[in-house]
Amino acid sequence: MGAVGLILVFACVFGVYVAEGNSMEMIIEAAPGEIATILGAAIGALLLSNSMTIVKGVGGGIGKVFKGSKYKKDDFLQTMFLVNKLMKMLKSEGAVALEPHIENPESSAIFSEYPAILHDHDLLPLVTDTLRLLVVSSGNVSPYAVEEVMDHAIKHHHHAALKPAEALAGMAGALPALGIVACVLGVVKTMGAIDQPPSVLGGLVGAALVGTFLGVLMAYGIVEPFSMRLKQVVDEEGEIQRVVKQIIIGNLHGHPPPLIIEAARVSINHDCQPTFAEVFDGMRGK
């Protein structure tokens, strides 16, 4: 929907302007210089106020705006199956049997069944590190303590994942002011040509105002919506970590397996939520 929204923004702003009989000539002539000034300054401010990791995250985040969450229904299903299988092994065969799988997941027969998770550098450590904690503690750890550790890890990851969206929001806040900067420079240029006829001065003033217009348009029509959508995607992607937590902590509390799995399933947003049958039919084959 991102591309459709972007097209609609430009169609409504410029299409209506032209449909009312106005000419785009002045905007087209002024736009390249004004955009270079405003966007260049905004990118410079972005680089100045953020680490390179966050700047790279902004670049990747723009792709997420159009693609959406990287996790689909099947990813949630596979995560539930994997974590459930690991917890069953811990219960039935003990920490000694589980340890080789979490220490070397690349050579694990269990993890090899779930290659997407095996190559997910965000999700895999949450699974392996948490289970490693259970193994080294030999079962003598409170479920509440494990939950607190997992909450801290999930919160830290989510906070870091939101940084690019926050950087875009900051950029959106700066764009209208930078548009005014570009406009002021245009006014300075106009004042330097004060002896010119009204037709020339009118063109210079119009070109200056294009800077304010573009700054506001880019801020509220493009960059701020991008930041809001990116935050939504980050929130959606964070759900899969809460599914992992739900299954591990539920098992540590000794809840019945169907209750644990159902609690994890209903915590998934409806766009990616598998049905009851999909989950439990899949569990029977695992």
SS3 track for the chain: CHHHHHHHHHHHHHHHHHHCCCCCHHHHHHHHHHHHHHHHHHHHHHHHHCCHHHHHHHHHHHHHHHHCCCCCHHHHHHHHHHHHHHHHHHHHHCHHHHHHHHHCHHHCCCHHHCHHHHCCCCHHHHHHHHHHHHHHCCCCCCHHHHHHHHHHHHHHHHHHHCHHHHHHHHHHHHHHHHHHHHHHHHHHHHHHCCCCCHHHHHHHHHHHHHHHHHHHHHHHHHHHHHHHHHHHHHHHHHHHHHHHHHHHHHHHCCCCHHHHHHHHHCCCCCCCCCCHHHHHHHHHCC
% of the chain at pLDDT higher than 70: 99
* Tens digits of residue pLDDT in 60-107: 999 999 999 999 999 999 999 999 999 999 999 988 899 999 999 999
Residue 273: other Cβ atoms inside 10 A: 16
Rounded percentage of the chain residues whose pLDDT exceeds 90? 70
How many whole angstroms separate alpha carbon 144 and alpha carbon 167?
35
286: confidence class by pLDDT, cuts 50, 70, 90:
low
Burial class (CB in 10 A: 0-12, 13-18, 19+), 96: exposed
Residues 6+ positions from 266 with CB-CB distance below 8 Å: 273
For residue range 231-253, what is the model confidence (pLDDT) as tens digits?
A: 999 999 999 999 999 999 999 99
Cα gap 76→28, rounded to integer Å: 48
pLDDT at position 226 over 90: yes
Confidence of residue 141 (pLDDT cuts 50, 70, 90): confident
Mean pLDDT, range 114-124, rounded to an integer:
92
* Res 73: pLDDT: 94
Among 144-153, 191-200, 254-263, the minimum mean pLDDT is found in: 191-200
pLDDT at 205: 87
Average pLDDT, the chain: 91
Residues in the chain, total: 286
- Taking the model in full, what pTM does it have? 0.87
pLDDT value of position 281: 83
Q: How confident is the model at residue 262 (pLDDT cuts 50, 70, 90)?
A: very high
Do residues 122 and 157 make contact, with C-beta atoms less than 8 angstroms apart?
Answer: yes
Tokens coding 187: 């006014």
pLDDT (tens digit per residue) in 159-197:
999 999 999 999 999 999 999 999 999 888 888 888 888
Residues 143-151, mean pLDDT to the nearest whole number: 94
Give the pLDDT of residue 192: 85
Tell me how crowded residue 141 is: count the other CB atoms within 10 A of its CB: 14
Question: What tokens does 59 get?
Answer: 């670049």
Rounded to a whole number, what is the distance in angstroms from the first to the last CA of the chain? 36
Q: Write down the pLDDT at residue 139.
A: 65
Return the domain boundaries, the chain: 25-286
pLDDT at 23: 86
134-138, 145-149, 160-164, 172-176: least confident range: 134-138
Flag whether pLDDT at 284 surpasses 80: no
Instruction: Judge whether residue 122 has pLDDT over 70.
Output: yes
Sign of CA dihedral 47, 48, 52, 56: negative
pLDDT at 173: 95
What is the average per-residue pLDDT within 220-226?
95
Question: What are the residues whose beta carbons fall under 8 Å from the beta carbon of 222, sequence distance 6 or more?
Answer: 6, 9
Q: How confident is the model at residue 285 (pLDDT cuts 50, 70, 90)?
A: low
